[in-house]
Amino acid sequence: MTAPESPSEQTPPDPAIATATATAQDAAGGQAPSGSWVPDTRPRRFYRQATAGPPPDSGAHDGWAVLLDGRPMRTPSRQPLRLPTAALAEAVATEWAAQGKHIAPETMPLTRLANTALERVAPSRATIVAALLDHVDTDVLCYRADHPEDLAARQMADWQPLLDWAAQTLSARLAVTHGIMPIRQPSAAVTALRAALEGLDDWALTGVQGAAAAAGSLVLALALAHGRVDGAACFALSRLDETVQMAQWGEDAEAIASREAVRRDILAAERLVRLSRLA
């Protein structure tokens, strides 16, 4: 999340640098718990307008850019921030336009995912695919409960259709077990999932990476990318066990906060994939 270059001004600090130092202050409303004043170290907003448009530094149409006061943004490593559709560029520009006096990177998930797609996924697709496949054996949809009966029934009713979809659409027939003992998925299923991942463009692969990490399920992430489920359904399916337990035993603040973080990540991944495909 780097500012555009300006010949007459010093480049403003990358907002990502301030994330860690701002976390404690954010939690306390910008002040230390003791009540003593602590200066806000987050980068100050250094631009007036954030808009989307064709990159001004390109003779031919080369994707879409986000312009801060008319100057194109760059990624943290100083690459041009090129987005595949006007819709995605508009959404990223909206994140920047919505910033207040200080820049809060945690409120800009699409900016973060766009940088990830350009700087991490695009140059390292094989590594990303291999990392995703490393977790096939722990896909949450493949681990079922024996009891309570209502949970087992919900898992069968809600999760099995997604595994059936993976078998039919992706040719990935995954094994299911009961309990927590790990299982090894068939090599044919892993090969099929590899082909499914390799068939995605950089933006969809970035969305799948984010959704799989949040949901604990590569199958759910691929279903999201293929439009088989939306973000809300992906989140609900990924937290089914927890939802049933909370209905029985009640909620607690820590669990609610964790669920909300997962929900935000999944919805951001879905939005990235959807906007990257809009003409």
Question: So what's the pLDDT on residue 251?
Answer: 84
CA gap 247, 185 in Å, rounded: 32
Topology, domain 123-277: ATP12-like fold (1.10.3580)
The pTM of the full predicted model, rounded to 2 decimals, is: 0.84
Q: Where do you find CATH 3.30.2180.10 in the chain? A: 15-84+93-106
User: pLDDT of 218-264, one tens digit each?
Assistant: 999 999 999 999 999 999 999 999 999 888 888 888 889 999 999 99
Question: So what's the pLDDT on residue 30?
Answer: 39
Of 58 and 213, the one with more pLDDT? 213
CA gap 211, 274 in Å, rounded: 13
Average pLDDT score, the chain: 87
Residue 137: is its pLDDT beyond 60? yes
**Which CATH code fits 15-84+93-106?**
3.30.2180.10
User: 49-52 long-range CB contacts below 8 Å, 24 or more apart?
Assistant: 49/97, 50/93, 50/94, 50/96, 50/97, 51/93, 51/97, 52/83, 52/86, 52/89, 52/90, 52/92, 52/93
User: pLDDT of 150-185, one tens digit each?
Assistant: 999 999 999 999 999 999 999 999 999 998 888 999
User: pLDDT of 73-88, one tens digit each?
Assistant: 999 999 999 999 999 9
**Percent of residues, the chain, with pLDDT higher than 90:** 74
Can you say whether the dihedral through the CA atoms of 46, 48, 52, 55 is positive or negative?
negative
Q: Where do you find CATH 1.10.3580.10 in the chain? A: 123-277
